[in-house]
Amino acid sequence: MNHFVARLIFCFFAEDTDIFATERLFTATVDRMSDRDGANTHEVIGEIFRAMNTPIAKRAEAKLPRWADAFPYVNGGLFSGSTDVPRFSKIAQRYLSHIGGLDWTQINPDIFGSMIQAVADEEERSVLGMHYTGVPNILKVLNPLFLDDLRAELEAAGDNTCKLANLRARMAKIRVFDPACGSGNFLVIAYKAMRAIEAEINWRRVEADRRTDIPLTNYRGIELRSLSAEIARLALIIAEYQCDVTYRGQKEALAEFLPLDAQNWITCGNALRLDWLSVCPPTGTGVKFQADDLFMSPLDQAQIDFANEGGETYICGNPPYLGSK
């Protein structure tokens, strides 16, 4: 079900943002091919998912329905594995059609955290210490942790092309790690802020069309709940596409978006039991640890500065907690 929800969100977003060549391709296909009572809706969606997991060169041997062949090859792990889909009632199929009719072009991945918290029951939120952190509070951590420093370096560089290139190279090696990432809000906000700084660098260097040097694999997280982990990875994928559209244009963004990268940067597991170095291994040998005395836990605000090649990993986040104290 977790994987199914993530797939649906991707399809609704993709059909409204030209990732799918035809507008409302997913919703219209499900509506057209489904029985009026929704009895075969699960089979229709399953075939669509199977198509997006099949490379174009292998479509013939996969014996897909002709109507499913209109969907692009997406995969990247999102559509791999089981294509089982829950059965739909007539009412459920109508809900699905209604959701597909909404405007998903401006979906903000920042709000996925509040969505996850809303669907979790109160007891589960209490046991897991779940808490949605809004953007202003996230920036209260990320700005002093490293974003303010990057912006100051950008300001100091001015129009010096060499200094700007050095800053861009530094940013390409920065990694952000949230050991209790939830649906990835800290990682998404950090990524979008870094892309904004990089875009300013490229503009000053008259390289506005340059492909980003900041890989999504630099944004790593651990999350206990599988649905949140699925959504965190999807939120980063959507954030990357939106940044490409904003800073490079839709044509360039579409040309490089599919197929998705199969690498996964969000680990589903217990951060208190996992070896963090297995999730986010150091990029250098020298390690310097710094923590703000205002916070008691290194999960709140920490900086690991690796000496080798200037690589930096910043640990941030809002750890699970119980109560107000």
Q: Per-domain residue ranges for the chain?
A: 2-100, 110-316
Nearest to 253 by CA among 235, 261, 239, 241: 241
How many whole angstroms separate alpha carbon 6 and alpha carbon 4?
A: 5
Provide, rounded to the nearest whole percent, the portion of the chain with pLDDT above 70. 82
Q: Within its chain, how far is the Cα of 198 from the centroid?
A: 18
Q: Within its chain, how far is the Cα of 70 from the centroid?
A: 25
* Residue pair 97/27 in contact by the 8 Å Cβ criterion: yes
Per-residue burial over 162-179, b = 16 or more CB atoms within 10 Å of its CB, e = otherwise: eebeebbeebebbbbbbb
pLDDT digits (tens, 9 = 90+) for 258-267: 888 877 789 9
Residue 147 pLDDT > 90:
yes
Total-model pTM:
0.80
Q: How far is CA 316 from CA 37, 90, 115, in A?
A: 48, 45, 21
How many whole angstroms separate alpha carbon 305 and alpha carbon 289?
A: 7
Confidence of residue 215 (pLDDT cuts 50, 70, 90): very high
Residue 194 corresponds to which amino acid? M
